[in-house]
Amino acid sequence: MPAPLEIKVISINTSDWTPLLVPFDCSSISVKNGGGAVIRMRTASGDATTEDTLGAGSEQAFAVPFHRYRFVTGSQPVWLQAVTGTGPVVVKFLA
């Protein structure tokens, strides 16, 4: 089993939706906006009705309290895009 916690820094841009790829089965994902501008988050990259925003320096956590509903390895639960600039976004995965 991998370490129970993994931190990744992801660069995002204004033209592409960047998928958040889950590296191992986990129960919690935290997304921190490490840049100076707002970022967009979607659960479906092509569907604006699934969009939320995250302000500069803010952090959003996604947690699944039940083991059978974990974020599975290789899934892409969130897509990210910068409003301006290139991020970075700091992501924490907790097993």
Q: Where are the domains of the chain?
A: 5-94
* Banded model confidence at residue 38, pLDDT cuts 50, 70, 90: very high
What global pTM score does this model have?
Answer: 0.89
Domain with residues 5-94, CATH architecture: Sandwich (2.60)
pLDDT digits (tens, 9 = 90+) for 42-86: 999 999 999 999 999 999 999 988 777 889 999 999 999 999 888
| Closest CA relative to residue 62, chosen from 30, 89, 87, 86 | 30
Say which residues have a Cβ less than 8 Å from residue 79's Cβ, sequence separation at least 6. 17, 18, 19, 20, 41, 42, 43, 44, 45
**Which comes out higher in pLDDT, residue 47 or 87?**
47
| Closest CA relative to residue 28, chosen from 70, 57, 78, 59 | 70
* CA–CA dist 5, 76 (Å, integer): 18
* Banded model confidence at residue 2, pLDDT cuts 50, 70, 90: low
**Local structure of 69: helix, strand or coil:** helix
